Structure 1
Amino acid sequence: MEDITVSELKERLDKKDKFVFLDVREEWEYDDDNLGAKNIPLADLPSQLDELENHKEDEIIIHCRSGARSGNAKKFLESKGFSKVRNVLGGIIAFRDL
């Protein structure tokens, strides 16, 4: 699936669209800018994959600080059979500029 811009994400959040929202930053980063996503740090994703197992066919939107870790998380999830994964381009840094 195509990635998503911060503007599109904000619009989707404002409309309360249904999707799985995942933040792959570290806990201390999550506390600074919590957008309401489930926090699973990138390094913990393999060991916590079972928490997402029921969402293999659902849209999953992943964000991090800049878009790099969430891009890696997207590739990892796709390799595990998740088919509708989207990365937030620019991450929380870009989101703050809205």
Structure 2
Amino acid sequence: MSTIPEMNAETLNRKISDGEDITIVDVREDEEVEEGMIPGALHVRLGELPHRYDELNKEDHHVLVCRSGRRSMKASEFLKDNGFSNVTNLEGGMLSWSGDLSYK
């Protein structure tokens, strides 16, 4: 069982609206992101994360996002294993997101 905390979409949307300092990392594939992503999210495909995680500040609060929450949980566990202390998975992924979208 994972020790990664999860956050639901409603809570994340509220935190974004409140201006909380959160780094959202979308680990979906390019074609998935073309359908829209959470505004301000950084797109780092899951397969690229082992090569790009050093672009992220280990002190920031990171919320990981994918389509349903499974890949982002793997990404969350990877970051935690690599020294990131404040990592949260978006429960239900983009399937649960009803907030605004941005497009690449």
TM-score (norm 1): 0.90
SS for the counterpart of 1:45 is helix
Residue equivalent to 2:45: 41
Q: Unaligned regions of 5+ residues in structure 2, if any?
A: 100-104
Matched, 1:12 2:15: yes
Native 8 Å contact 1:33 1:92 kept in 2: no
Q: TM-score scaled by structure 2?
A: 0.85
- In structure 1, what is the equivalent of residue 86 of structure 2? 84
4+ aligned runs moved over 4 Å, structure 1:
none
Q: Identify the residue that residue 51 of structure 1 maps to in structure 2.
A: 55
Q: How far is 1:56 from its partner? A: 0.8
What SS does the corresponding residue of 1:71 show, helix, strand or coil? Answer: helix
Secondary structure, aligned partner of 1:86: strand
**Residue in structure 2 matched with residue 65 of structure 1 by the alignment:** 67
Task: Show structure 1 runs of 5+ residues with no match.
Answer: none
Q: Could you tell me which amino acid in structure 1 is paired with residue 61 of structure 2?
A: E
User: C-alpha separation between the residues in 2 aligned to 1:16 and 1:22?
Assistant: 17
State percent identity of aligned pairs.
Answer: 34
Instruction: Give me the whole-angstrom Cα distance separating, in 1, the residues matched to 2:83 and 2:98.
Output: 32
CA RMSD of the aligned region, Å?
Answer: 1.4
**Structure 2 SS opposite 1:50:** helix
Q: Are 2:61 and 1:24 equivalent residues in the alignment?
A: no
CA distance in 2, matches of 1:96, 1:11: 12
